[in-house]
Structure 1
């Protein structure tokens, strides 16, 4: 690819102290990556520049038709000062699947990876090292044509911003309570549910507010056709351990293919733990919750990594899980994946990429 131009800030920000708790997604580093696209020219002018506000036309297509994609991954710093990315190839692959579905030009994989490495390398001093912290990486693409017509944009901007973060949930690794939604739907097969785009998340807000008002952290969605089959949580994929078998909804076209989800399935196979990707009805979950065969439940995602679930609620049915404690297998997944991310445990080949 072209050389990445680097312009360093002349006014560095004050970094958060080690004793200050990091609220997820509220602090941003000194620099960002930018690259532009034009039809007939392709992606051009890759650069790392000081973090700045954007100046855009009010008529930019992203504001009116929502043509945008985003991703999320993390960087970690080891005790010997190495900077590591966890499975960035999977995020890049998923980003380009989202781009394809949203009629956004794909970004060459090597260009994408070089961009990630470049901006993280410039701001590596921002990577927190306290347990449970990391540097969250947010790549995104927006349509920038100043045009009020429904068509794919002819111009785009690709950016990457960075944020030092702590736990996604305020409860940390303590079990969260999940509301199973039976009124609203998030996505349907054939729609954009498997793309990582803002439309999927804004569709979840009404239900999220309702769940929060009832004391629940997140919403677990049912399929949009039958209103019967488990899909995903607002910010996570979902797993259940029922009678010794780990089960998770299969990727059916409306579920986001999570990188941590894929990692958990791979670890199950490596450890010889029965794992099934299949259709799971809410009736099966309620039954398992009531008869005691629901042994563990947890969510997976980049932000939270592994999040134990301590209660599910569907209508008037409340299903406590694990006595309010994290399950043994859930803990093992968390310890293993975070250990790999921090370079403390050797993971499968290719899972860790060093930033140099």
Structure 2
């Protein structure tokens, strides 16, 4: 890190903050953003908090042509006593460096970036919504900026953090969603970039997502890219199934994103002494458990939705209805506990919470 100071330029034109009822996920952004540049041999430098604004890039900037980019997603929460806190932010930044390594992007200083994120959130703390179920979404990301048309890692990058006040990710909220199992398209394979949080993975998912929404489903459930047999993950979530009293989730295999909410759920299940198994699970096995009456619950997990119950799966024209389309007991307990910890309403036995100190925005 060439320069460890964060300069702050305060916005002179503050925006009007939206009402909680008007929040649409990812549409509204706060007054400020964090930016930092990378060049060789200087390293990461020029760290600044500036007014939220467009950026200018050369048309030949490598990010446009070769997709060398990664991102993360985490949230800031307003607590009943007026504090603002983050949920496991150091884990997001550790995962970001894992993604950086896969995309040949130089690593960030995780401790420095966490300090900068806290500084940015504190500066825009008036944007953290206070209504039930709302939060401030934090999006750190890196793009390759070198003006060069050639297939090679860039020598120049820009790291940014933007903030967005958000409501529920799914309009269904904690109510069960309908998921289509994807048999035709492939999102990722082992050895590819599936376990990295990079834009290309999401671009690869758009076609199937578009078709599933047209058919009345909320999300796509992806199968493995080789045999199209084993369950991997939902488009924006890891996935869990409760079968005959045991919770099963696909094992991390190199093509599945290592979700932070996924990891938190596994820790909670172990804490509650609920059997949980990370392993390969096929659609054939899942469908048989449905026919046998042992498929008790299904739910997805992710930063945006936290825990989202699945009430229906459609696979090869066959409908699988889960728990009569109702939210299951385990999913509800997980949702209540995780959101309770995130919003400071429940005890945090895992030390997952990081406070955002008030007044840190003016500290360089």
TM-score range, shorter chain: over 0.9
Distance 2:112 2:89 in 1: 12
TM-score by length of 2: 0.96
Distance 1:295 1:349 in 2: 28
Q: Determine the structure 2 residue equivalent to 1:229.
A: 230
Q: How does 1:86-165 map to 2 (within 5 A)?
A: 86-165=87-166
1:6 and 2:8 equivalent? yes
1:286, 1:317 within 8 Å by CA — same for their partners in 2?
Answer: no
2:188, 2:255 within 8 Å by CA — same for their partners in 1?
Answer: yes
Distance 1:290 1:124 in 2: 50
Shift of residue 189, structure 1, vs aligned partner? 0.4
1:16 and 2:18 equivalent? yes
1:59 and 2:57 equivalent? no
1:336 and 2:337 equivalent? yes
TM-score by length of 1: 0.98
Q: Determine the structure 1 residue equivalent to 2:327.
A: 326
Shift of residue 3, structure 1, vs aligned partner? 2.0
Q: Determine the structure 1 residue equivalent to 2:220.
A: 219
Q: Determine the structure 1 residue equivalent to 2:192.
A: 191
Shift of residue 291, structure 1, vs aligned partner? 2.2
Shift of residue 350, structure 1, vs aligned partner? 2.8
Q: Which runs of 4+ in 1 moved over 3 A?
A: none
Shift of residue 170, structure 1, vs aligned partner? 1.2
Distance 1:349 1:225 in 2: 37
What secondary structure, in the 3-state scheme, does the structure 2 residue paired with 1:277 have?
strand
- Aligned residue pairs total 355
Distance 1:352 1:295 in 2: 31
Distance 2:114 2:324 in 1: 43
Shift of residue 210, structure 1, vs aligned partner? 1.1
2:289, 2:295 within 8 Å by CA — same for their partners in 1?
Answer: yes
Q: Determine the structure 1 residue equivalent to 2:77.
A: 76
2:80, 2:345 within 8 Å by CA — same for their partners in 1?
Answer: no
Residue by residue over 1:125-182, the C-alpha shift from the partner in whole angstroms, topping out at 9 and shown as x without a partner, is: 1001111110000000000000000100000000000000001011111110000101
Q: Determine the structure 2 residue equivalent to 1:257.
A: 258
Residue by residue over 1:323-354, the C-alpha shift from the partner in whole angstroms, topping out at 9 and shown as x without a partner, is: 12111110000000000001111223330000
Distance 1:43 1:241 in 2: 45
CA RMSD of aligned residues (A): 0.9
Shift of residue 322, structure 1, vs aligned partner? 1.3
What secondary structure, in the 3-state scheme, does the structure 2 residue paired with 1:142 have?
strand
The gaps in structure 1 that reach 5 residues or longer are: none
Distance 2:95 2:199 in 1: 15
Residue by residue over 1:21-77, the C-alpha shift from the partner in whole angstroms, topping out at 9 and shown as x without a partner, is: 311110000000000000110101111110000111111000000000000000001
2:296, 2:323 within 8 Å by CA — same for their partners in 1?
Answer: yes
What secondary structure, in the 3-state scheme, does the structure 2 residue paired with 1:252 have?
coil
What secondary structure, in the 3-state scheme, does the structure 1 residue paired with 2:191 have?
coil
Distance 1:17 1:187 in 2: 39
Distance 1:291 1:318 in 2: 15
What secondary structure, in the 3-state scheme, does the structure 2 residue paired with 1:91 have?
helix
Deviates more, 1:260-269 or 1:21-30: 21-30
Distance 1:349 1:332 in 2: 17
What secondary structure, in the 3-state scheme, does the structure 1 residue paired with 2:225 have?
coil
